[in-house]
Amino acid sequence: MPLTALVSLLQFTTVLPLGRTRDFSAFAERSWIYPLAGYVVGGIAAAAVFFIGEPMVAGALAIALLFFLSGCNHLDGLMDFGDGLMAHGGREKRVGALTDRQIGTGGVAMAIAVTLLSFGSLAAAPCLPCALIVAEVGGKFSMAFLSTFGRPFREGIHSSIQSHSKPYFPVLAAILCIPLVLLPIAPASLGLASVMMIACPTALLLVSRKLFGGVNGDVTGASNEITRAAVLVSLCLL
């Protein structure tokens, strides 16, 4: 894997200052490397809160850092998805709400709900830094999953990435998640988290096909936020 692909991935998913803009196709042709961005973003956030002893403060700061490092792009996708999900009417109106630049009540409610779940789960996590890394890598795996199986309903960045995807890309993305077993997390919790990593993008894929006729970048970004929250919740359940 060329370094250009990794830098292009991080330029696409973060606001990290990485110099000149690299060729986007270097990443688009290797979208299975999405989890690497999870290690970087999750690792930075985990390091920043490692020495904070108050879980609620650490959790709040961690969420803020995740939003900041990603430029709120995935959060924006979540809010757009919430608008499309809550819109009344047929597919055309739902797609209009999904792609409209204005944020409605559905989007705000979705962002609040997912953020509260993430924050509460982080504050209750036995190992907050570990949970951050697992959840962020899991969120990025879900993006790789949708980039492979999410048939686009319109032209855009997602369609460009999806056109280069191969059916085996999620398998490669899953292999990149294997190092997570080295973290001090109970195997049962990690197993449930792995289920969420697959179940969430699968559910979003089915819902998006029914409501919008396919997937776009907003749905993929929403999957990152929703899967991250689901993984965090799962790490607290077992």
Predicted confidence band of residue 167 (pLDDT cuts 50, 70, 90): very high
Decide if 154 is inside a domain: yes
Q: How many domains does the chain have?
A: 1
Report the C-alpha gap between 209 and 25 in whole angstroms: 26
Determine the pLDDT at residue 238: 76
Residue in 43, 46, 69, 71 with CA at minimum distance from that of residue 58: 46
Mind listing the pLDDT tens digit for each residue in 48-73? Answer: 999 999 999 999 999 999 999 999 99
Does residue 184 carry a pLDDT above 70?
A: yes
- Given a cut of 90, is residue 133 above it in pLDDT? yes
In a domain, 13, yes or no: no
Can you tell me which residue has the tokens 């890309």? 169
Mean pLDDT score across all residues of the chain: 95
Euclidean distance between CA atoms 226 and 68, whole angstroms: 17
Residue pLDDT, tens place only, 76-112 = 999 999 999 999 888 999 999 999 888 899 999 999 9
Predicted TM-score (pTM) of this structure? 0.95
pLDDT at 193 exceeding the cut of 90: yes
Answer yes or no: is 54 within a domain: yes
**Other Cβ atoms closer than 10 A to 143:** 30
Domain range enclosing 153: 32-237
Q: Which two tokens stand for residue 227?
A: 């899967």
| Residue 45: strand, helix, or coil | helix
| 3 belongs to a structural domain | no
